[in-house]
Structure 1
Amino acid sequence: MSALWTPSSQAAAGVRTGRVERSCVRAMAVALPRKPMSARRPARTENATLASMPVTTDVAAAPAKVVHVIQAEEYHAFLSEHADKLVTMDFYAVWCGPCKMIAPELDRMAAEADPSKLVFAKLDCGASNESKKLAMSLGIKALPTFHLYKNSKLVDSMTGAKVKSLAELIDKHM
């Protein structure tokens, strides 16, 4: 053999040299044609969104708020105003996960209840210093806490986001 035998010629001949040969391959961006908008997303129909529906007085009128959201300053006045009914007071905080989970269930229970016999209210324990002081004076140590009042007097309480237990407690005092 008259040709010079080098490591690169060994690699070309298929002989393993123990070294890795590096190739000069560069990543390259390739522009592909885009699909037309109609092919990417189905076309919207006229009735597909609420924004396309005509606004009438029936749609614009919001349902009445069933769960009363009160402040610490209104707490005693609210209890005396609704003394003839069973008042279910929810002590909650906006950052509380279990409070957020039980809120829709509380709204549903309030919507199904007879407002002449049962009233639902919520008080945010972290909204202000007065709210924090009121919660501490009432012995609220965990959230959510539910207090049930009759004739402005505390008749029962419950801690935790247990819908079934709350419903049983309300039925017990109705």
Structure 2
Amino acid sequence: MSIRSEHPANADQIYRALVLLGADPLLDPELWPESPQEENRLRPLRLRLLGALLAKVELEITAATSRNTEEEPDDVADTLMGWMGQTEPAALGMNVLINRLQRTAVQLMGPEEVGDPPAGRAASSAAVVAAAGMLSAHLVFQQGEVERTRRALDRTGASVIAVLEGIHELRVAIGDVEE
């Protein structure tokens, strides 16, 4: 399934949305020159601004739903209903979830560090990659694409192995098992 917005927002529209939300970013003049630019040159800026807008919205949702969850149990459900209203048909929603899982996996790895990331973070990232891989395998299986399903399952299996290795590494670290 191809995902294309019927009315894609341009960089200026996204920037104005950020300003309205009180989150206007400082823009590098090389990315946002004063003169009009072709859309291809603005693609990195557009994606960066979309990322900033996504972060602002996620922070707003977290702030709105993390308080009083016992008093307002419908807050998360109401947020989900709003999300689902924008992600129909179901396959589109699944593709959005896969994209979100992939971003989460990258975020779990943290900023670039020297050497390997800590075992717990690496295993957490692998678990999220496995979830994205399984959803992807499910979608391509539903489309009848056996070879793509196989490849997605192979990647998912490798991620599950990485999760198990991370679990073992942490168990060694706390002395539950021998190396």
Which of the two has higher C-alpha Rg? 1
Higher strand share: 1
Higher helix share: 2
TM-score by length of 1: 0.21
